[in-house]
Structures are given as structure tokens and as C-alpha cells.
């Protein structure tokens, strides 16, 4: 495990919807707090599913987080003594992949532990460019899975549903939603639009 003073690093937690990314992020941040390391967490302002300004797991564990519109705002909010920076729901940021990767690299180069969570693929099963590149440069990458609602296999895809049917692929990429909008599906059960 990462120890205090061990230097900067990037950790990526990725996977499809319902794969437990936020739970895993909160689990790591809980350890950070127990270790009395100084932490700042951030969340995209577009993620309106839960209380703005908090990371909230499905079982109600809550960690205070600063809402941001751009990843570049992290540098504005950063305290001098912070040791760990966390960002949930990376895919909700509109920043370019260049901006996201450069910002994370700069933070890690300063000696910070940077933990990023987010979807690896959109609802078309196409990789998010920023996440793809972060996976390549990260010191640690964890890809989580959900359970396919159709067959019970390990799910790696997020099927977008509209009125109970798979959504066509020409619809907008990002819709903030919950159970009524996405299903976790395996490769075999995922339906291309």
C-alpha cells in the first residue's frame, strides 16, 4: 500500500456503471483519513445525483468534496499541505484529454497521491480518451466489474436504456442518471445501437 512520504503517484479506478467505483474510492479515502493524511476530494458539478459537495457511497458513507467545473480548478483550491487528491466521476468533466492528463501528471509530479475514478467506456462501449490515457500513465490501475442484469456474468459495459429499450447510439453521450437509464451488461448481452 501507499505509505506517507512515498512520493507522487496516480491511481485509477475505472469500470462500467454499478461496478462500485465510488465505493472503492471512498474505501481508499477512508484509509487516508485513518492514516491522518491530508486529503482534498473533488467532484464534477454536473454530477447532481447526490448531495452537491460530497462523495456518497450507495450505503451512505459520505466524504466532503469540492464541486468543480474544470479539472484545472483543482490547482486553485489546492492547499499547500495536502497529500492526497481524489476526483470522482471523471467522465463528467468537459476538459480535453490533454488537460486532464497534464493536470493529473503535474499533481503527481509534485509528490501528491492522485486517485481518479470514472467510467472507462461510454454507453456505446467506446473508451473515454482521458481515461484511456490515464490508465497508461498510472502507477496503479484497477478495473472493476458489475454483474450483467441479463445473464449474471461479469459486466463491463453500460447499456443506456430509454423506455425500457437500448438507446440509439446517436443520442447525446452524457446523461446524468441512475437505475432507470443504464444497465450493466456483459460483452455478449450488450446491444450495439
Q: For binding to Zn ion (CB under 5 A), which residues are involved?
A: 148, 150-151, 153, 186, 189
Of 65 and 186, nearer to Zn ion (C-beta) is 186
Smallest distance from the beta carbon of 148 to Zn ion, in angstroms? 3
14 is in an annotated binding site: no
State the minimum distance, in angstroms, from the CB of residue 131 to Zn ion.
Answer: 23
- 148 marked among binding-site residues: yes
Three-state secondary structure call for residue 24:
helix
Residue closer to Zn ion by CB (options 103, 159) is 159
Does residue 123 have a known ligand-binding role?
no
Work out how close the CB of 186 gets to Zn ion at its nearest, in angstroms, rounded to a whole number. Answer: 3
CA nearest to 85, candidates 110, 57, 59, 119: 110
Spot the catalytic one: 11, 24, 89, 183.
89
Helix, strand, or coil (residue 129): helix
Measured at the alpha carbon of residue 175, what is the angle toward residues 171 and 179, in degrees to the nearest 5?
A: 110
Q: Tell me, yes or no, if 183 is annotated catalytic.
A: no
Strand partners, 54: 64
How many Cα atoms occupy the beta-carbon half-sphere of 117 within 13 Å? 26
Q: Which residues are catalytic?
A: 89
Amino acid at each position: 500500500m501507499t505509505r506517507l512520504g512515498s512520493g507522487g503517484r496516480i491511481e485509477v479506478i475505472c469500470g462500467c456503471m454499478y461496478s462500485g467505483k465510488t465505493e472503492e474510492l471512498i474505501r481508499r479515502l477512508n484509509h487516508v483519513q485513518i492514516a491522518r493524511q491530508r486529503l482534498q476530494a473533488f467532484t464534477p458539478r454536473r454530477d447532481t445525483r447526490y448531495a452537491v459537495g460530497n462523495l456518497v457511497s450507495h450505503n451512505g458513507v459520505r466524504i466532503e468534496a469540492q464541486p468543480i467545473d474544470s479539472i484545472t480548478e483543482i490547482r486553485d483550491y489546492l492547499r499547500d499541505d495536502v497529500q492526497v487528491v481524489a476526483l470522482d466521476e471523471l467522465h463528467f468533466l468537459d476538459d480535453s484529454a490533454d488537460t486532464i492528463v497534464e493536470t493529473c501528471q503535474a499533481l503527481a509530479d509534485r509528490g501528491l497521491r492522485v486517485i481518479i475514478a470514472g467510467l472507462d467506456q461510454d454507453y456505446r462501449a467506446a473508451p473515454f480518451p482521458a481515461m484511456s490515457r490515464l490508465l497508461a500513465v498510472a502507477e496503479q490501475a484497477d478495473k472493476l466489474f458489475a454483474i450483467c442484469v441479463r445473464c449474471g456474468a461479469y459486466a463491463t459495459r453500460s447499456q443506456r436504456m430509454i423506455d425500457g429499450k437500448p438507446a440509439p447510439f446517436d443520442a447525446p453521450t452524457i446523461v446524468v442518471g441512475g437505475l432507470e437509464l443504464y444497465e450493466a451488461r456483459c460483452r455478449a448481452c450488450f446491444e450495439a445501437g
